[in-house]
Amino acid sequence: MSSVLGVSVGAGAVRVARPHAGNSAERGALRPNPVDAFDLQAIPVGERRTEELVADAIGAVLAADPRVSATAVAYRDEQTARAIRAELARRQFTNYELVPDVVAALEFLEYSGDLQGFGTVAIYDLGASGLSVTVVDTATRQVCFSERTSDISGDYLDSLIREQQIASGRIAHPPDASGLAALDALCRTAKEQLSENSAVALPSTEGLVLLSQENFEALIMLAVESSARMTRDVIQRSEQQVQAVAVIGGCAQIPLVARVLRRWLGVPVLVPANPGTVASRGAAIMARPVQPRPAPAPFAAAFENSSILPPDATTALLTSTGAVEKISRRREISMAGVAVGALVVVSAIGVSLGWGPQVLEHDSQSSDAATSSAAPTTTQSSASVPTSVAPTTDATNEQLAAPPQRQETTTTDAPPPAPGPNTFTIIPGLPPVVVPTLPPLFPAPAAVPAQPGISHR
């Protein structure tokens, strides 16, 4: 028969709850007294980290009893939940779930029948590190309002007892921190025993801790009334009609707490048996085996892997004409894209290196070169040179310094003038670039009279 495990995390101790053999908490088959249906254990935190202690406790239980099929951990805040989740993941624990301690406590209180007939309740949780007051709707499990304070706590009540004992002269002040911690632990034990006894006397190395129930209540009365005032304020701010108050936590066993709350709030105050373990027992009731995550779907693109797709589907997919045509078209488009990209790159490199005029006017340059090679005579071609005067250096500078002439747009569609020999169009759509004519290095030769039978161009 499988079993479950419930764990609650507190500042002072980590508590573990397991249903007895033959009693399954998840099926609701507990004994008439729910306290007797669980094996309970409290592990003091001390100097260790809480998440490490939780992981150690779960690991020890799983190693001792392989029948444990589910684990639930009740946490107080999100920071504690993240730390526990990280530690359990580091130790490779998977079959667990995290639940808020308020929800776990409500689960047990409803399960035990303490909250039967109450729709909205306030949970008063007084533990070692502080007090939490939470207003909850029992039907929807929705938290209406919650507040926490560290002004009153179990540790604070212990310090009140310690200071009172030192002030009485029966206890010497401890000389170091370890002695002070030992005295606080002794005062905590006295506080717990006073919940059932009228007086306690506990010996120690520093003296005798002697305290009566009457003195203890007078010592903590102001702190308890302050907590009752806080509970009343939380209920008012929640704007809910609270029908009862459930007192849980390690300090809930102090009889004065329930009496003061009844007087201040005027509603029923419920104190379950062993209130410090309510969250751990509720976590055990909520523990369910974690369903394994489904395996990820196979990747359909791996057609050649017959283990991913069925053989028939793979063959039909590879032999279908439509699939082959789509693949060939994709290849053709890819090749065309590569070719276009290569041409764009080559064109960009040519323009950046100054090859644009030669490439764009390759035909005109080649024809001019052929004409000049056919008539290489210098005297004949220079016969018409005297008709034009070579520009001087000043004229050249003025031509270079002059801004380019803009072409005015007219309504007539006259054809543009033919470009000169020194005009080059580098980029279509932009104005052409005019290269100035440099003066000759040597003077022009004398003109030679034209001979008959020879034409000059």
Query: Where are the chain's structural domains?
Result: 1-114+275-291, 117-271, 311-352
| Spatial distance between the Cα atoms of 360 and 356, rounded to a whole number of angstroms | 6
The two structure tokens encoding residue 318: 């590879």
Task: Kindly provide the b/e burial profile for residues 103-133, where b requires at least 16 CB atoms within 10 angstroms of the residue's own CB.
Answer: bbbbbbbbbbebbeebebbbbbbbbbebbbb
Sequential DSSP letters for 62-117: HHH-TTEEEEEEEESSHHHHHHHHHHHHHTT--S-EEEEHHHHHHHHHHHHTTTTT
Residue 315 has pLDDT above 50, yes or no: no
The two structure tokens encoding residue 387: 């008709």
Strands 38-44, 13-19: parallel, antiparallel or unpaired by DSSP? antiparallel
| Spatial distance between the Cα atoms of 312 and 310, rounded to a whole number of angstroms | 6
Strand order in the sheet with 244-248: 142-149, 131-137, 120-126, 244-248, 269-270
CB atoms within 10 A of CB 177: 8
> Same topology for domains 1-114+275-291 and 117-271, yes or no?
yes
Helix (H) or strand (E) holding 315: helix 311-319
pLDDT in the model for residue 48? 87
| Spatial distance between the Cα atoms of 62 and 95, rounded to a whole number of angstroms | 11
Q: How confident is the model at residue 426 (pLDDT cuts 50, 70, 90)?
A: low
**0.75 exceeded by the pTM?**
no
Residue 89 has pLDDT above 90, yes or no: yes
Helix (H) or strand (E) holding 16: strand 13-19
| Spatial distance between the Cα atoms of 307 and 303, rounded to a whole number of angstroms | 10
Task: Report the candidate in 281, 265, 261, 263 with the shortest Cα–Cα distance to residue 273.
Answer: 281
| Spatial distance between the Cα atoms of 157 and 130, rounded to a whole number of angstroms | 11
Q: pLDDT for 115-125, tens place per residue?
A: 988 999 999 99
Q: pLDDT for 250-301, tens place per residue?
A: 999 999 999 999 999 999 999 999 999 999 999 999 998 876 555 544 444 4
CB atoms within 10 A of CB 429: 5
Protein fold of 117-271:
Nucleotidyltransferase; domain 5 (3.30.420)
Q: Which residue has the tokens 């006017």?
A: 361
CA angle 412, 415, 421 (to 5 degrees): 145
Calculate the alpha carbon distances from 420 to 228, 405, 433 in Å.
104, 15, 11
CATH superfamily of 1-114+275-291: ATPase, nucleotide binding domain (3.30.420.40)
Residue 402 has pLDDT above 70, yes or no: no
Work out the average pLDDT over 365-394. 42
| Spatial distance between the Cα atoms of 50 and 329, rounded to a whole number of angstroms | 63
Residues forming a β-bridge with 13:
44
Task: Report the candidate in 332, 292, 448, 440 with the shortest Cα–Cα distance to residue 379.
Answer: 448
User: To the nearest whole number, what is the mean pLDDT of the chain?
Assistant: 75
Total H helices, total E strands in the chain: 14, 14
Work out the average pLDDT over 108-120. 91
- The residue that leads in pLDDT, 394 or 339, is 339
